[in-house]
Amino acid sequence: MDTEGTIEPATAAEARERYEALGPTAQVVVKEVAKAMEMDKAEYRERVTSEVVETARDALFASMLAVRVGTRDEFDDWVAERDGYDVHEAGSEHVDNVVWHVAPAAETVVAATFQDEREAAVGTLRRQAFGRVYEGLVAGEPDDADERSDEADDSDGQAGGE
């Protein structure tokens, strides 16, 4: 079993932070692609919207997700040792290999099976993991702990004047 990629955020806040940090990189990538396509300034302003840059950021984030690649037995053993995680597996249980991403922030594992096409499986899994786990998480509201902390700050501020 081996691992590719680097992003495996432990919390929703960490996922949002990593995602937000990729914003400037996404802007540079889009700008350089537009230059390579020989877009003039007017066409760039017309065609390069915030949605285009956001799509680039989504793709960058997904492409950096940490994935484990192993045999069916390695995957089954790994899952057996981690009770409590929801497992979402795509593909057939009758093939030899599995690629999976662990999302501790959502207590979820997203997996896909493959026989021979490792690179394709890794790419597909990353897109699935982003859509299933991170798309809502990075755009979502602060988690409950963040909200409770904010509420405590508000009440402390009000009580301090009395």
The pLDDT, as a whole number, for residue 140 is: 65
**pLDDT score at 152:** 37
Six-digit token string for 3: 């691992």
For residue 156, the model assigns a pLDDT of 40
Backbone angles phi, psi at 130, to 5 degrees: -60, -50
Please state, in angstroms and as integers, the Cα–Cα distance from residue 76 to each residue in 51, 83, 111, following that order. Answer: 39, 12, 11
pLDDT of amino acid 83: 80
Residues of the chain under the 50 pLDDT cut: 143-162
The pTM score is: 0.81
Please report which helix (H) or strand (E) contains residue 159, including its range. Answer: helix 144-159
Those residues whose C-beta lies under 8 Å from the C-beta of residue 128, and which sit 6 or more positions away, are 88, 90, 110, 112
Cα–Cα distance list, 74 to 112, 114, 119, 133, 161 (Å): 13, 14, 19, 23, 59
Q: What is the per-residue pLDDT for 93?
A: 86
Amino acid making up residue 32: E
Give the separation between CA 79 and CA 86, rounded to whole angstroms.
10
Name the nearest CA neighbour of 53 among 33, 27, 34, 32: 27
The pLDDT value given to residue 82: 84
